[in-house]
Amino acid sequence: MRKLILLLFLPALHGADPAPCKNPEECWNLLMNGNRDWVAGRLQHPNQSKARREAVADHQTPFAVVLSCSDSRVPPEVVFDRGVGDLFVIRVAGNVVDQFAIGSIQYAVEVQKYTRLIVVLGHQRCGAVEAAVKNIPLPEPLASLVKSLRNAVEISRSWPGDHVENAIDANVHLVSDQLSKMFMKDGAVVLGKRYSLDTGAITDPRWIP
Ligand SMILES: [Zn+2]
């Protein structure tokens, strides 16, 4: 009987994790607080202790999904100043999505319902987007990955300014729109953002209709 009570109690205890934010807007504000600390060079390193590691060893409740580029200079946990168990991260060069990336997001948002916030994070001087803009010959399957950026390259061709930077922004918008449509039924809020390698700041991408 005692064991049964304990078993009944366990999920409730897990569910009682204090959520750091209640809705996508609050969760985004939390991420931006962390980004401001990163920009200012005053990282707090939340949730990076041994105690935190142990607390989330048998379950997780990440409060945001982040799709970002594989670029070594844009690790989401660092640029948002967060720790373990906070972010559900998918990283693919050029922050593009294929079926497996979508499946990973689906796991977090639709199946486990960890969070309704999905952040698509492009970044300044992205090598994948640059390769697409300059049409650099590449081996497969990298060539297919870069080819999937072609729409973003075409859409941004007439925008004033630097074509690579504009295509980075167009790609963030296209991927965000795709995910918005896909996860609308789950009440997901998809935010497309861009990261500056120069300053560490995360801002809105351009969009010229
Ligand atoms: Zn990149």
Rounded to the nearest angstrom, the distance between the alpha carbon of 86 and the centre of ligand 1 is 22
pTM metric for this prediction? 0.91
Q: Would you say residue 9 has pLDDT above 60?
A: no
Average pLDDT in the chain: 93
Name the nearest CA neighbour of 40 among 74, 76, 79: 79
Tens-digit pLDDT profile for residues 105-150:
999 999 999 999 999 999 999 999 999 999 999 999 999 999 999 9
Rounded to the nearest angstrom, the distance between the alpha carbon of 42 and the centre of ligand 1 is 25
What per-residue confidence (pLDDT) applies to 3?
A: 53
Domains of the chain: 21-203 (3.40.1050.10)
**Terminal C-alpha separation, the chain:** 65
Give the strand order in the sheet containing 189-195.
Answer: 87-91, 64-68, 117-123, 189-195, 202-203
Confidence of residue 17 (pLDDT cuts 50, 70, 90): low
Rounded to the nearest angstrom, the distance between the alpha carbon of 169 and the centre of ligand 1 is 12
Rounded to the nearest angstrom, the distance between the alpha carbon of 146 and the centre of ligand 1 is 11
Average pLDDT over residues 18-35: 95
Q: What are phi and psi of 148, to 5 degrees?
A: -70, -10
Joined together, the tokens standing for residue 177 give 């729109």
Confidence of residue 11 (pLDDT cuts 50, 70, 90): very low
Tens-digit pLDDT profile for residues 163-183:
999 999 999 999 999 999 999
What per-residue confidence (pLDDT) applies to 19?
A: 85
Burial 17-45 (b: 16+ CB within 10 A, else e): eeeebeebeebbebbeebbebbeeeeeee
Contacts of residue 149, Cβ cutoff 8 Å, sequence gap at least 6: 94, 96, 128, 129, 132, 167, 171
Rounded to the nearest angstrom, the distance between the alpha carbon of 110 and the centre of ligand 1 is 27
